Amino acid sequence: MLSKFIKSGDRIDLQALERIEGERGENGHRVYASSVSEIISEDTLEILMPMEKSKLILLPIDGKYNLIFYGENGLYECDARIVDRYKSNNVYILVVELISNLRKYQRREYYRFSCAIEMTSRVLEASELEAMDRGVLKPDMLEHSEPLKRSIIVDISGGGLRFLSTQKYEKDDTLYIGYHLMIGGEKKKFESTGKVLSIRKSENRPGVWEHRVQFCHMDEKEREQIIKYIFEEERKSRRKERFV
């Protein structure tokens, strides 16, 4: 099970299941960044000792942690216990044993992440919607004979997004939405469709409309990529806070 979804080099976030004295972070527990060194068996793996400001973090033997893996095909999580730690070829290693099943990470699928991302959009035609419903047309196959409208995404989640635009769409419109996200240091293009759930005037910007959109016809791998983006950006924010 483990080796089917996780491989050496995959990144990991660790968070203590029980409060450890001196730790800070979400819910009072600090989050540590690490990566998979080697998979020993289907319930045991070696991971790199976490570091912070070039200093090793000596996590305790028998400490229990929630592990979130950034796998190639999505995010996974499990609970694990540290059973050993040692140094090999100048690399510090933790040996962890799984104490729960590996499962897809869904907790933040609908967590809204605040951002400012350029976006292009247009309303889909009835024929395009019909073709999508039949599964013969995908967002990245759409043609655009007219210039796309430019907008700004102000928050995004695995379930949808909110954007500001001088173009006012109507409730229940289905839109083509194009944007880019930086994931793993690489700029990736996303082409999605979304249904407009609500529209309202911006309180601070005359002539600007705020739209809330729910994704539709979205591939689950693409949804996982958005969640991965949110994770990475949150972790960057946490790191910045530590240096302030």
Among the candidates 70, 87, 104, a domain finishes at: 104
Handedness of CA 133, 134, 140, 142 (dihedral sign): negative
Could you report the per-residue pLDDT of 70-116, keeping only the tens digit for each?
877 778 899 999 999 999 888 999 999 999 999 887 655 567 889 99
Q: Which distant-in-sequence residues (6+ apart) come within 8 Å of 4 by Cβ?
A: none
Q: Which distant-in-sequence residues (6+ apart) come within 8 Å of 90 by Cβ?
A: none
Q: Is 192 found in the same domain as 87? A: no
Q: Write out the residue range of the structural domain in which residue 46 sits.
A: 2-104
- pLDDT category of residue 29 using cuts at 50, 70 and 90: low
The pLDDT score that the predictor gives to residue 219 is 86
CA-to-CA distance for 17 and 98, rounded, in angstroms?
A: 13
CATH of the domain at 34: 2.30.110.10
Residue at 243 is within a domain: no
Among the candidates 40, 73, 104, a domain finishes at: 104
CA-to-CA distance for 28 and 13, rounded, in angstroms?
A: 15
Dig out the tokens for 154 from the structure.
Answer: 């102000």
- Between CA 220 and CA 227, with CA 226 as vertex, the angle to 5 degrees is 90
Percentage of the chain exceeding pLDDT 90: 55
